[in-house]
């Protein structure tokens, strides 16, 4: 979410041109596949393991830390009843609060596409269980 990103307190949009920002966003989207391709064997498990360690530390030590994670959204971001990737405060209660950021129109559209992919996957899994 480039509109919510800063470097040293300066909005990233003031530091990089739009083409560069879009290239970074696209590379981030495809980062897991890029890592797997570079490893040749194995998979991209280092980054998820490091992220999990940060989440566990935030919960165990009640750090109230803002981290991106899959959290259950009841109505946040217009999502009802699904686990989706959102920024959340993690503390001794696990996900203590989903933080709703002001998204640009493009970011909202991209986020909604991700939510639809989650909904479709859940529906496919439900169909398989019947």
Report the alpha-carbon distance of residue 12 to residue 31 in Å, rounded.
20
What is the DSSP track for 59-88?
HHTT--EEEEEEEEESSGGG--SEEEEEEE
Question: Is residue 93 in a domain?
Answer: no
Question: Is residue 110 in a domain?
Answer: no
Question: Is residue 39 in a domain?
Answer: yes
Question: Is residue 22 in a domain?
Answer: yes
Q: What is the pLDDT of residue 8?
A: 92
DSSP 66: E
**Domain count of the fold of the chain:** 1
Question: Is residue 33 in a domain?
Answer: yes
Q: What is the pLDDT of residue 58?
A: 98
Contact 102, 3 (CB under 8 A): yes
Question: Is residue 98 in a domain?
Answer: no
Weakly modelled stretches of the chain, pLDDT under 50 = none
Q: What is the pLDDT of residue 57?
A: 98
Q: What is the pLDDT of residue 25?
A: 86
Structural domain that includes position 13: 1-44
């Amino acid at each position: 979410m480039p509109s919510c990103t800063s470097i040293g307190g300066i909005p990233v949009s003031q530091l990089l041109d739009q083409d560069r920002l879009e290239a970074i966003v696209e590379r981030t989207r495809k980062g897991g596949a890029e890592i797997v391709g570079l490893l040749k064997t194995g998979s991209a498990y280092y980054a998820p393991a490091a992220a999990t360690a940060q989440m566990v530390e935030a919960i165990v030590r009640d750090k109230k830390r803002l981290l991106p994670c899959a959290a259950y959204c009841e109505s946040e971001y217009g999502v009802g009843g699904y686990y989706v990737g959102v920024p959340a405060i993690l503390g001794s209660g696990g996900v203590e609060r989903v933080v709703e950021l002001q998204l640009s129109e493009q970011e909202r559209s991209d986020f909604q596409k991700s939510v639809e992919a989650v909904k479709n996957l859940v529906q496919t899994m439900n169909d398989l269980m019947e």
